[in-house]
Chains A and B, each alone.
Chain A
Amino acid sequence: MSTLAAPYRFSEQFYAGARACIPVAISVAAYGLVWGMLARGAGLSLLEVVMMSGLVFAGSAQFVALDLWTATPSSLPIGPLILAALIVNLRYLLLTATLRPLYPEKGLWRGALSMYLVTDENWAMTVAAMARGGGSVAFLMGGGVLAWISWMSTNLIGYGLGSAIDDPARWGLDFAFTATFLALLLGMWKGRGDIVPWLVAALTAIATAQFVEGSWHILVGGVAGSLAGALVEVRKHAHHA
């Protein structure tokens, strides 16, 4: 890496990135605690929690995975689970593409490995730093490592707390999923342009869930809604042009 020539600057930038991510690491922690508790309810073992949080390291995809997870291994929907992770994570195509200016032409493939540490949180902080004329690979990684530690440790704490509760539904904890997703959805609201895609996604998903077993409504609704959103947006621009 080009940063090896100036190692002191790498660590300086690394800590700066970690510091910038402290506020968002707190929200990652809250989110991580919930995921850990729900993971226990969904029937994941401690080893599976460690593997998934450590290797997949993508909050929304992991929440969706819990919804599809089954405690009996033979009925685990392997294809839909992997496909769902792919679809939920597709947005990262756009996020990591914006980081391209940080990487030199030569080390791009090595840089691709560092993309593992990209989350919504440290991406946002890095892009903000880039807009101010700063930002670097080290800055990105500092935030990423902090987010990883926050995510992993709170997942494990949540998993431990979950053991204190024998019947989650009795305490209303079965609703934690819907509540979390609803809050995540509202957090994504960017304006009226979201009305059509969200409505189409919701209605298509409701209809699909009525007729198709399993969790296909997530994929069908997600694809239909996002296509509808894109259609509306492109047509609107065509009218303005």
Chain B
Amino acid sequence: MHTTPEAVIVILGMALVTIAVKASGLLLADRLPRDGFAAAWLRHIPGAVLAALVAPALVTGSPAEVVAALATGGIFILTRNLFAAMATGVITVYLVRLLIAG
């Protein structure tokens, strides 16, 4: 059980912005844009952030990672199960790396 001042600041900061955003939605509900540009922008943020997160890792990855990404995507589309998809990705990358190295 240990931590550092930097980590505590980060965690408290993250907690604060998270509750602030959640509370703002309720408090500003009567004034938020229901349609138009701002509403569309907010709606697209989560997907865009995740796409931005995943893409560089796949482009800079080895063939093993590309194959594993395809397997992960395939299993997720088939099962809609996050854990199954993650496990498939990990097992695939492990096996393909073994094959390439061996």
Residue numbers in A under 8 Å from B65 (CB-CB): 175, 178
- CB <8 Å contact, A45 and B3: yes
Chain A contributes a number of interface residues (CB within 8 A of B) equal to 99
* Beta-carbon nearest neighbor of A194 in chain B: B47
Question: CA of A33 to CA of B84 in the docked complex: distance in angstroms?
Answer: 12
In the complex, A116 Cα to B17 Cα: how many Å?
Answer: 11
Q: Please judge, given known A-B contacts A91-B45, A179-B90, whether A203 and B55 are in contact too, CB under 8 Å.
A: yes
Instruction: Tell me if B21 and A179 are in contact (CB < 8 A).
Output: no
What residues on B are CB-neighbors of A226 within 8 Å? 41-42, 44-45, 47-49
Given the interface pairs A97-B28, A230-B40, the reply to whether A57 lies near B86 with Cβ below 8 Å is: no
CB of B10 closer than 8 Å to a CB of A:
yes
Whether B76 contacts A182 by the Cβ 8 Å rule is yes
Closest Cβ neighbor of A227 among chain B residues: B41
Report the minimum CB–CB distance from A225 to chain B (whole Å).
3
Q: A31-B83, A78-B9, A187-B80 are in contact. Are A94 and B43 (CB under 8 A)?
A: yes
| Nearest A-chain residue to B16, judged by Cβ | A82
Q: Once the chains are docked, how many angstroms separate the CA of A230 from the CA of B25?
A: 19
Given A93-B32, A183-B72, A202-B51, do A82 and B13 touch, yes or no (CB 8 Å)?
yes
A85: CB under 8 A from chain B? yes
Cβ A89 vs Cβ B48 within 8 A? no
> Is A147 located at the chain interface by the 8 A CB criterion?
no
Which residues on B sit within 8 Å (CB–CB) of A6?
Answer: none
Chain B, interface size category, equals 35 or more
Q: Is the CB of A90 within 8 A of B21?
A: yes
Task: Give A153 to B69 CA distance when docked, in angstroms.
Answer: 29
Q: What are the residues of chain A within 8 A of B55 when measuring CB–CB?
A: 201-203, 205-206, 221
Report B-chain residues with C-beta under 8 Å of the C-beta of A179.
68-69, 72, 85-86, 88-90, 93
Is B63 part of the binding interface, using a Cβ–Cβ cutoff of 8 Å? no
Closest chain-B Cβ to A184's Cβ sits at a distance in Å of: 6
Contact between B69 and A182, CB atoms less than 8 A apart? yes
Q: How far is the CA of A14 from the CA of B79 in the complex (A)?
A: 31
List residues of chain B with CB within 8 A of the CB of A56.
11, 14-15, 18
Return chain B residues, CB-CB under 8 Å to A98. 29
| Chain A residues whose C-beta falls within 8 Å of the C-beta of B73 in the assembled complex | 182-183, 186
Docked Cα-Cα span, A44 to B2, in Å, equals 9
What residues make up the interface of A, taking CB atoms closer than 8 Å to B?
Answer: 27, 30-31, 33-34, 44-48, 51-52, 55-58, 60-61, 64-65, 67, 73-74, 76, 78, 81-82, 85-100, 103, 108-109, 111-113, 115-116, 118, 171-173, 175-189, 194, 197-206, 209, 217-231, 233-234
Pick 18 A–B contacts, CB within 8 A, sort by A.
A44-B7, A45-B1, A56-B14, A60-B46, A67-B53, A74-B6, A81-B10, A88-B45, A90-B42, A90-B45, A91-B42, A94-B39, A178-B65, A183-B86, A197-B48, A205-B51, A220-B52, A229-B47
Query: Would you list the 6 A-B pairs with minimal beta carbon distance, nearest first?
Result: A221-B52, A179-B89, A225-B48, A96-B25, A172-B94, A229-B44
